[in-house]
Amino acid sequence: MSITTFIIVSIIKSLAVIAVLLTAVAYSVWLERKVSAHIQNRWGPTRVGPFGLLQPLADGAKFIFKEDLTQPHVYRPLYIAAPIIAMVFAITSISVVPFGNSAYIPEINVGHWFTIPEIETPFQITDLNIGLLVILGITSMGVYGVALAGWSSNSKYSLLGGLRASAQMISYEVSLGLSLIPVLIKTGSFSLRAIVEAQRHLHWNFFYFPLGTLAFFIYLISAYAETNRTPFDLPEAESELVAGYHTEYSAMKFAMFFMAEYANMVTVACLATLLFFGGWLGPVFGPLLLQMILPIVWFCLKVFFFMFLYVWVRWTLPRFRYDQLMAFGWKVLLPLAVANIVVTSLIVAWRA
């Protein structure tokens, strides 16, 4: 593949993945509203399109045309940069996530001067052998957007929310990273594609390696805390901090924080699927076209389950106190993650 072909194919895949991700983010909000409404025995969005399916478009138009208020006491450079930082890192992390085996791109004529031949390319934007490490690094940078938003707003509520978010994300990042080490011990690779391939024949990491279920639940709880979702939504805490770190934001700046939150939720769901539940692996049958589509269907169904679980947990469990939140992270999850690594290492060494 020539350099020009590689660049054009990468641009096509990037635009396609970003379009799908932003659509998923928009309709995750719709899903949350509908599921929470049914949990509370009400209808949710119904008036804007069938079943309220056009509600995300109405929300987007509202944020675009809403007046963007900037308080005179904020530090403008960082105040404006904070939501952009949060949004950019949230979207960038999806670039190394594989969604299936391979994508077949037919021959494409670019004007009269260049033709892209029919090629087969990985069904992801870029295939890195350290994909998991890249995602952990990118997502951990998102806390800078939150912390800068809290500080630059020059508001006590925003500052407290930013400090809470920083402490919470740093604390639970440790347990989240340690929970993935047993997966790496079993697979021997940071490549997300290699991790999925190691789970063929239903050898899902959730069931297969020693204490895989414990590793999954440590990862899931830590990921909930990383994305500031209930019962770990202390950085926002409407009853205490108004809206936390984004109290002073409005219009599209406010929307960008929520888009970043839901984009991070999608990334967490994708990682849970890839690391513990076989990724796109599942029954494949029928003609060639169906065999190409089914892996993507299995991947999307698994991701949808985790997105639904996010909403289910939010509207079921109450919020922790802040001291309980920190104690749970350092005194429960961290020792369990370390013990899981030790036991898994001993068992793998004994079997070797």
pLDDT, residue 301, reads: 93
Is-contact 66 250, C-beta < 8 A? yes
Is-contact 36 274, C-beta < 8 A? no
CA separation for the pair 37, 46 (Å, rounded): 11
Would you tell me how many other CB atoms lie within 10 Å of the CB of residue 124?
A: 21
In this predicted model, what pLDDT tens digit does every residue of 285-311 receive, in sequence order?
767 777 778 888 899 999 999 999 988
Distances (CA, A) of 16 to 12, 102, 215, 273: 6, 15, 33, 21
* 272 has pLDDT over 90: yes
CA separation for the pair 22, 6 (Å, rounded): 24
pLDDT, residue 333, reads: 92
Is-contact 100 280, C-beta < 8 A? yes
CA separation for the pair 272, 303 (Å, rounded): 8
SS3 of 102, please? strand
Distances (CA, A) of 153 to 75, 182, 255, 275: 7, 41, 16, 38
Place of tokens 């400090």: 163
Closest CA to 265 of 307, 230, 234, 327: 307
In this predicted model, what pLDDT tens digit does every residue of 97-148 receive, in sequence order?
988 877 666 666 666 666 666 777 778 888 888 889 999 888 888 888 888 8
pLDDT, residue 234, reads: 75
In this predicted model, what pLDDT tens digit does every residue of 232-243 receive, in sequence order?
887 676 666 666
Give the bridge partners for 160, in sequence order: none
In this predicted model, what pLDDT tens digit does every residue of 212-265 receive, in sequence order?
889 999 999 999 988 888 788 876 766 666 667 778 887 888 888 888 889 999
Closest CA to 82 of 149, 166, 161: 149
The full set of domain ranges for the chain reads: 65-351
Average pLDDT, the chain: 84
Is-contact 37 279, C-beta < 8 A? no
* 204 has pLDDT over 70: yes
Beta strands in the chain (DSSP E): 102-105, 108-110, 114-116, 119-122
CA separation for the pair 89, 70 (Å, rounded): 23
